[in-house]
């Protein structure tokens, strides 16, 4: 763990997560391409409390699964029904 904490970019990320808590974790976990393991390691190193971390994981993964299933259900509808797509983006 000391090896990981010595890197300047990891230090910046840990401080950023520690200051902001739920928000950045939630946003990072909403995107399907974000590596969850890296987010979990940074959250563990930043010593964020259990409740905000758990809420961020559950809510972020829920949104991610919804986005993937919405896009995967009807890819053509993203382009043929832009109002529906905009509505979903606004709700999220």
The torsion angle over the Cα atoms of residues 10, 63, 91 and 49, rounded to 10 degrees, is: -50
Interior CA angle at 12 toward 29 and 1, to 5°? 80
Total count of domains within the chain: 1
Contact 63, 55 (CB under 8 A): no
**Nearest Cα residue to 43 out of 34, 54, 33, 58:** 54
The torsion angle over the Cα atoms of residues 17, 20, 23 and 28, rounded to 10 degrees, is: -20
Q: What is the pLDDT of residues 43-77, one digit of tens each?
A: 887 778 888 888 989 999 998 888 787 776 777 77
Q: What is the pLDDT of residues 28-40, one digit of tens each?
A: 888 888 888 888 8
Pairwise CA distance, residues 72 & 69, whole Å: 5
Q: What is the pTM of this model?
A: 0.66
Could you tell me the residue range of the domain that residue 27 belongs to? Answer: 2-91
Give me the count of residues in the chain: 92
């Amino acid at each position: 763990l000391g090896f990981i904490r010595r890197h300047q970019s990891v230090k910046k990320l840990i401080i950023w997560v520690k200051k902001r808590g739920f928000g950045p974790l939630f946003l990072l976990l909403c995107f399907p391409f974000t590596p969850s393991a890296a987010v979990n390691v940074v959250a563990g190193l930043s010593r964020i409390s259990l409740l905000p971390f758990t809420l961020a994981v559950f809510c972020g993964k829920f949104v991610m699964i919804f986005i993937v299933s919405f896009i995967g259900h009807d890819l053509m509808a993203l382009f043929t029904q832009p109002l529906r797509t905009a509505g979903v983006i606004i709700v999220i």
